[in-house]
Amino acid sequence: MHMAILARKRKRLARRNRLYVFLLAFVAVGMIITLLWLVANSRNFMLFGNIVTHVETDEKVVALTLDDGPLPGTTEETLKILRELDVKATFFTIGVESERHPDQLRKIIAAEHEVGNHSYSHNLMLFTTYGTVTKEIEDTDTLIRAAGYTGQIPFRVPYNYKFITLPYYLMKHERSDISHNVSTNEGWEYSPEEIAADVVRKVSPGSIVLLHPMYDHTLSSRRAIPLIVDELRAKGYRFVTVSQLLLYEKS
Ligand SMILES: [Zn+2]
């Protein structure tokens, strides 16, 4: 009788221990996944290489970076706005769009803006093979060069998600991920005034501003550009390209 109780007790204990081990494993896996997710989406940390979100400087310089495209119509509209303001921006172009609309890319180059590489397909490159990462980046460089661009080509990770292969490629090729430290909500539901006010509020010397003005639904972003430029100029800011901005980094 006594032995039977002991055996039951032992069994109960074993069951409880199994439950603890299971719970601990569950928590540990959850923590690892969360950590990896934070690393993959971090704005200022990569497993390899270097992310640039802004430049440390006391000078009132700011870089306007315009992502995605080039798309017909909206690119020309954006170029016209920038020409009227006499601002040089950095366009982070998507390879597949440059292939579809090479004339738009050539217009950006002719207007002497900086052309950046924002990958070929703009796919999430989290678990992409090294070979695919290489192709995504180098095919886009090739398209930019084929359009006649001779300047530096900064690179920006699509969606700001990267894990192992993409940062490793960038480190090996001594390229940074040019990210940003100023962005805002964009789309139909936001007015140009709202977009501009939020951007102006967030800018500080050395900021990199991100906008997506080349979609049909981001007309407000295009219209916000003159407001942003005028307000920041009134505060003493000058607009430069990303490559120019990097030269202001305090050593
Ligand atoms: Zn993008």
Whole-number Å distance, alpha carbon 59 to ligand 1 midpoint, is 28
Digit-coded pLDDT (tens) for 173-230: 999 999 999 999 999 999 999 999 999 999 999 999 999 999 999 999 999 999 999 9
Coil vs helix vs strand at 238? strand
Q: How confident is the model at residue 1 (pLDDT cuts 50, 70, 90)?
A: low
Distances (CA, A) of 237 to 77, 129, 177, 210, 230: 24, 42, 24, 16, 9
Question: In b/e form, how buried is each residue of 8-35, taking b as 16+ CB within 10 angstroms?
Answer: eeeeeeeeeeeeeeeeeeeeeeeeeeee
CATH architecture of 51-246: Alpha-Beta Barrel (3.20)
| Ion ligand 1: residues, CB < 5 A | 67-68
pLDDT at 196: 98
Domain ranges in the chain are 1-41, 51-246
Residue 34 Cα to ligand 1 midpoint, Å, equals 24
Residue type, 135: K
The structure's pTM equals 0.89
Tell how far the Cα of 184 is from the centroid of ligand 1, in angstroms. 14
Distance from the alpha carbon of residue 93 to the mean position of ligand 1, in angstroms: 8
As a whole number, mean pLDDT of residues 121-128 equals 90
234 C-alpha to ligand 1 centroid (Å)? 29
Q: How many whole angstroms from 211 Cα to the centroid of ligand 1?
A: 10
Quote the percentage of the chain above a pLDDT of 70. 100
